[in-house]
Amino acid sequence: MSPARYAVLRLVTAVRRRTRRWAASPPALDVIAALSCFSLMVLDVPGLAGDDNSLTGLTATLVLGAGAATLVLRRRAPWVPYAVALVLLGWLHELTLIQFALYSLGRFRGRAAGVLATVGYVAVAYALFNLPGWPERSADSLSSFLSLVVPIGVLAAGVGIAAYRHDLVRELAAQRARTAVLKAVQDERISVARDVHDLVGRELTVLTVRAEVLAVRARGGSYEKDFDELAETARRAHQMLNDTIVHRADERTATPGLDGLAALAAEGMAMGSPVVVEVADAAYGLSPLRQAAVYRVVQECLTNAAKHAPGERVTVAISLDGAQLRVVVRNPLPVAEPLTEPVSSGTGTLSMRERVAAMGGTLTAGQRDGAYEVVAALPAGRRPAAG
């Protein structure tokens, strides 16, 4: 293929692409609407050069073309083609442009504008009918005249309003879809961040402890300072990990910590199950990630208690035993079966166990001494440094 032919083909392809893109754009649709309206009005040109006006076929065509051209403003200024349509209605008895104008008002300005424009159109048409200059052939009576004018306006505006509402519904659906996608992405990021924190944080903790042990063993030796620096570096890395993943999380999606247990207890009371929460003061020094894990465990336990033992007292005890965090949730077994079968997927306990196991802990759940007891034990970890 010669360079000249190749250049021509590229030019043709580019022109086609741009034309196709422009044809689907709103300005192109406005131009098409104007041309469609003009094509319909041209059919009336032979009758417009009658005794009721001084236009010829050429001038009538020009006037109608200018009126139809105002439809290119139907999105930005739909009242302009509406006003021009009323002028053509009184001057040339032309009803085509008013249909496009009323549709445009309903489509791009909504129901209020469409109804107002329709009422104005009918009022103007009624006033024009009573003018002595209007020809008698326009209608034999007022009822026959309005039976022609009113349906045209109502139908055109109604179709436009329906299209406007359809556009709103479609935009709302699109917005909901975008929101769902963003939420899914955000949830996935939070999940990945927690997994990273659990895995990397645990390894950093092991590294810190190991470095501290080696530093103690090397006391008085030439490597004591090196091991101390290594332990401090690991601690700072762990704190930075907490700060990046936990402290900077979106507050709207971040899981509450121990401070949120009071709200859970209030929710349990609202569901008819008294809840007593006991939290060791030292537990508030846990990292935000561990507090979030405790919150989720307690939340699931209270939900299960409300479903399977409604009305029974639930006790929640959170304590620290050295480097071990312990969460115990108990509720008496119900005296009688619930009146209705509880709605349950059966995966709540498994989810709690996986969350605790991911942080190096264990969780047991079952009946004990006439009560249902959930016990979660996991490493307490280290509290991130402030600020």
Secondary structure (DSSP) of 39-85: HHHHTTHHHHTSTT----HHHHHHHHHHHHHGGGGTTT-THHHHHHH
Token pair of 140, please? 């034999």
Q: What is the pLDDT of residue 340?
A: 41
Q: What percent of the chain stands above pLDDT 70?
A: 79
Q: What is the pLDDT of residue 368?
A: 87
Q: What is the pLDDT of residue 385?
A: 46
Q: How far is CA 132 from the centre of its chain?
A: 59
pLDDT along the chain (387 residues), means of 10: 74 74 78 90 74 70 90 92 90 87 91 91 85 58 75 87 85 79 71 65 70 76 78 74 58 69 85 86 83 87 82 90 89 67 51 78 88 90 51
